[in-house]
Amino acid sequence: MSKYSFTVIIEKDEDGMYVAEVPDLKGCYTQGATLEEVLANIKEVIMLCIETQREEILPHEFIGVQRVEVSA
């Protein structure tokens, strides 16, 4: 069994739901009512995505998160 490590981006939407996404895997995202739920859900989705995308996984190097302010 292979071991993988992915960066997961988690945000809270306007309805208070947690939304998680894995940039390295196409279409790999889910949501949950709590942080614990969204983490459990994203692990399941990651496993499904690995099964279908094993040859297409393109790892990115996570650099960080930056808030940028602009005026328009």
Q: pLDDT per residue over 8-44, tens digit each? A: 999 999 999 999 999 989 899 999 999 999 999 999 9
Which residues constitute the domain of residue 49? Answer: 9-56
Would you say residue 36 lies in a domain?
yes
Would you say residue 3 lies in a domain?
no
pLDDT, residue 45, reads 97
pLDDT, residue 46, reads 95
| Domain containing residue 31: CATH number | 3.30.160.250
pLDDT, residue 36, reads 98
Would you say residue 70 lies in a domain?
no
Instruction: Tell me the per-residue pLDDT of 44-69, one tens digit each, with 9 for 90 and over.
Output: 999 999 999 877 777 788 888 899 99
pLDDT, residue 19, reads 98
Q: Which of 53, 3, 46 is nearest to 21 (CA)?
A: 46
**What are 9's strand-pairing partners?**
21
